[in-house]
Amino acid sequence: MAYAAAVDTLETRELRYFVAVAEELHFGRAAERLGMAQPPLSRAIQQLERRLGVCLLERNRRGVALTAAGRVLLSEGRATLDAATAAARRTRRAGGADNPGGARNRLVLAVKTAAVHELLQNLLDAYAAQPDAAEVEVLQCRMTDQEARLRDGSADVALMHVPYNSLAGFDSEELMSEGQLAVLPAGHPLAARKTLSVADITDLPDLPRARWPRHGVYAPGPGPEIHDQTQLAQLVALGRTVAVVPESAHAWMWPEHAAIPLTDAPPVVTHIAWPTHSRSPALASLIRTAVQLESSRQTSVTARRLPLG
Amino acid sequence: MAYAAAVDTLETRELRYFVAVAEELHFGRAAERLGMAQPPLSRAIQQLERRLGVCLLERNRRGVALTAAGRVLLSEGRATLDAATAAARRTRRAGGADNPGGARNRLVLAVKTAAVHELLQNLLDAYAAQPDAAEVEVLQCRMTDQEARLRDGSADVALMHVPYNSLAGFDSEELMSEGQLAVLPAGHPLAARKTLSVADITDLPDLPRARWPRHGVYAPGPGPEIHDQTQLAQLVALGRTVAVVPESAHAWMWPEHAAIPLTDAPPVVTHIAWPTHSRSPALASLIRTAVQLESSRQTSVTARRLPLG
DNA sequence: GCCACTGATACCCACCGGGTATGACAGCGC
DNA sequence: GCGCTGTCATACCCGGTGGGTATCAGTGGC
């Protein structure tokens, strides 16, 4: 309850400095990024190390390397800084139009661009019909940015797709589950098949799987590097790659595409997720709406049991 | 990636100050708790409000009240402060004996006192047999303190019991699931029954259910207020209350107790949980050991399917 | 050898976080 | 009514420290 000061707690300024140095592994560049001179930065890091009683960086001959403790602080520091900026953002939004009524009247919902479609539309419609509905702003995210947006306070709630997204660190409710399709160039021999297995489209020499960045870095491999769905769609149309997408992703299908069901791909499960602590009435209402919407849909449609893993 | 400064991010000092004021709802007492004088605290909060462009507190005639934005910042601020102290603690532990090898050699495992027993013993034994095993310190927690210990960095990993504990905000793996028992005074009429339902032991005038604090406050009710298992055990032995405990909690049964299976109580699911980002090799190895241990146990014992909800 | 480039040190200044004294204002008792 | 008490805000001062510039001290490359 009582948060101790001084020795036990780190200032976000110190964390910003350390994270910058740890990411750049170079005091000069880190200082430049921080908009300050190098000497005070060096001193600040030294003070931090002395206060923690721990060696964070190994300064050998040319450059800097992280120690084990440094790696821990980099990870924890990022999380703390995310929490701090999220605190600022969410507080600003909560007091935005200075609504004296007490309840915030706006929710930011992060979704992956070109995903979910009907689910999103149904959710927005159903929620808008609620008597206490807040205004919902839809924040379009590329790739798996919903996680970052939720973490840093840019969004209040997100639609996530497991296993593409990770729910780690968030509260969530499952909304729907669906199979996946292989999307091939229409002229490809495999495009004539009724169904495909994951093995059928793995390691095809003519169609290497595209690679997208996880946390900013691309995994090594033969396939092309992409960073959004449109690029992927074009590459498929050009006959350069094969894509695996959820069944409901037909929104961005092109005439040059052939979509074949994958019999053994892991199901894609759509969740509604939100930061652990925040649970405003408006957010709770949106979540309730989403869960009711999907449970009613599942009972009307024949519920299909999906195989596990 | 790049953490903006100044306007966008809050200093932990500001958050400490605001949280203190928001909890005390009194500048004088908050200042005293913070070990400082009241005027600079008032000024700091004003500066914070100006920087955020948001009104956090309503200062009406006598005392202070939180605005909606203030409530948001209280919750977000606590989370941020927890993250900051956790960063300091975990970094200190990681660099503790200044192990230059690179890997931290110690894990703190938070468990509920007088719970898990065999599972804990098996886990510690199995992990110690691993070639890369780190030293494991067992941190005994009362009630649901494992969550707080994990959040504030006092522990690296915890055994949690859903629904008593909440896994919100943590990564976790399920380890085992078990039914619950009603623990009655041995002489009580119901103690002769073979099984009981939850309804049977609800609202008994002679055995009101004990109340323990959630987040420091007791819910209202007729039952006695307790804060650890021993108190509960004694109250049952004295014929003052009835307890509901997991089947495996026989460790603290007394001769004066009678344990009757509850047919319709929700199952208690034991998870191993850890903070979302941290995933050191030692931690990963402990988690792997735990999961393997329990999956092998479940296949050797006849797996019992538990009813949902 | 020198040079380029790294991070560390030395020194100075200005800002601001914190202290004390006091003010403004509201409720309450006589 | 007036003054008392308790609240938070204001005024003012001071010292610590965060940040700047100039410079030093290693180290690898040519």
For B258, residues 6+ apart whose C-beta sits below 8 A from its C-beta are B183, B184, B185, B186, B188, B191
Q: Are residues B89 and A53 in contact, defined by beta-carbon separation less than 8 angstroms?
A: no
Kindly give the confidence (pLDDT) of every residue in chain B, 309 residues in length, as a single tens digit, with 9 standing for 90 and above. Answer: 555 555 678 999 999 999 999 998 999 999 999 999 999 999 999 999 988 888 899 887 667 888 888 999 999 999 999 999 999 999 988 876 544 444 457 889 998 876 667 788 889 999 999 988 888 988 888 777 899 999 989 999 999 998 888 888 898 999 999 999 898 998 888 988 999 999 999 888 888 888 887 767 788 888 788 877 778 888 888 888 898 888 887 767 788 888 899 999 999 999 999 998 877 888 999 999 999 988 777 665 544 444 433
Spans in chain A with pLDDT lower than 70: 1-7, 61-62, 96-104, 114-116, 215, 251, 298-309
Chain A residues close to B69, C-beta within 8 Å: 91-92, 94-95
pLDDT tens string A194-250: 999 999 998 888 888 888 877 677 888 887 888 777 788 888 888 888 988 888 877
Q: Are residues A144 and A162 in contact, defined by beta-carbon separation less than 8 angstroms?
A: no
Picking from A17, A72, A279 by the largest number of B CB atoms within 10 A of its own CB, the best residue to mutate is A72
Note whether B68 contacts A4, CB cutoff 8 Å.
Answer: no
Q: Which long-range contacts (CB under 8 A, 24 or more apart) does B48-52 make?
A: B48/B10, B48/B14, B48/B17, B48/B18, B51/B7, B52/A88, B52/A91, B52/A92, B52/A95
Q: For residue A257, what are the β-bridge partners?
A: A185
pLDDT tens string A284-307: 999 999 999 887 776 655 444 444
As a whole number of angstroms, the distance between CA B105 and CA B103 comes to 6
CA distance A2 to chain B (A): 8
D25 C1': nearest CA residue: A61
Note whether A34 contacts B4, CB cutoff 8 Å.
Answer: no
Check CB contact of B77 with chain A, cutoff 8 Å: yes
As a whole number of angstroms, the distance between CA B79 and CA A144 comes to 23
Complete domains list, chain A, with CATH: 12-93 (1.10.10.10), 114-171+273-300 (no CATH), 180-261 (3.40.190.10)
Note whether B276 contacts A169, CB cutoff 8 Å.
Answer: yes
Q: What is the pLDDT of residue A110?
A: 92
Residues near chain C strand, CB within 7 A? A 25-28, 38-39, 42-43, 45-46, 59, 62-64; B 13, 35-37, 39-40, 43-44, 47, 61-62
Q: What is the pLDDT of residue A297?
A: 73
CA distance A257 to chain B (A): 36
Cross-sheet strand order for the sheet of B268-275: B135-141, B106-112, B157-162, B268-275, B170-178
